[in-house]
Amino acid sequence: MSEYPEDLRYLDTHEYVRLEGEIATIGITAFAVEQLGDIVFLELPEVNDVVSKEETFGTIESVKAVENLNSPVTGTVIERNEVLIESPEQLAEDPYGEGWLLKVRVNKPGEIDDALTANEYSAQVEG
């Protein structure tokens, strides 16, 4: 049974977003990490790149599959998790904490309002 923190919002493509003021932290859920298995490669945008809501911003590769990463928000990348780029397998250890992927300064914080709540996401993936 995976856990889904209540303070996050989720996409049906298994990304999460934590919004603090105008800064969004984006990652992928524990469920996605479990499904992927051993993660071997992570491709993320550069700092100052612009990401757009519902558009691909990178890829995550495991021994099983390559999956696109989709942004829950539109904004400018202010930080990316360099540790994970070097050691992507560490993502599995703490997907909601140290395993974040990007920090983005959002243009429209209200964009996350149509993302799923923890309960909605849980119902979808465990249903």
Give pLDDT tens digits for 86-103. 999 999 999 999 999 999
Task: State the residue for tokens 């995976």.
Answer: 2
For 55-72, how does the pLDDT look when each residue is reduced to its tens digit (9 = 90+)?
999 999 999 999 999 999
Integer Cα distance of 55 and 72 in angstroms:
8
- C-alpha neighbours within 13 Å on the C-beta side of residue 82: 4
pTM: 0.95
pLDDT for residue 2 is more than 80: no
CB neighbours of residue 117 within 10 Å = 13
- Listed by start position, the domains of the chain span 9-114
- What CATH architecture does domain 9-114 belong to? Beta Barrel (2.40)
The answer to whether 22 and 110 are in contact (CB under 8 A) is no
**Contacts (Cβ under 8 Å, ≥6 apart) of 43:** 58, 59, 60, 61
Q: 72-108: buried (b, 16+ CB within 10 Å) or exposed (e) per residue?
A: bbbbebeebbeebeeebeebbeebbeebbbbbbebee
3-class SS shares of the chain: helix, strand, coil, % to 5 = 25, 35, 35
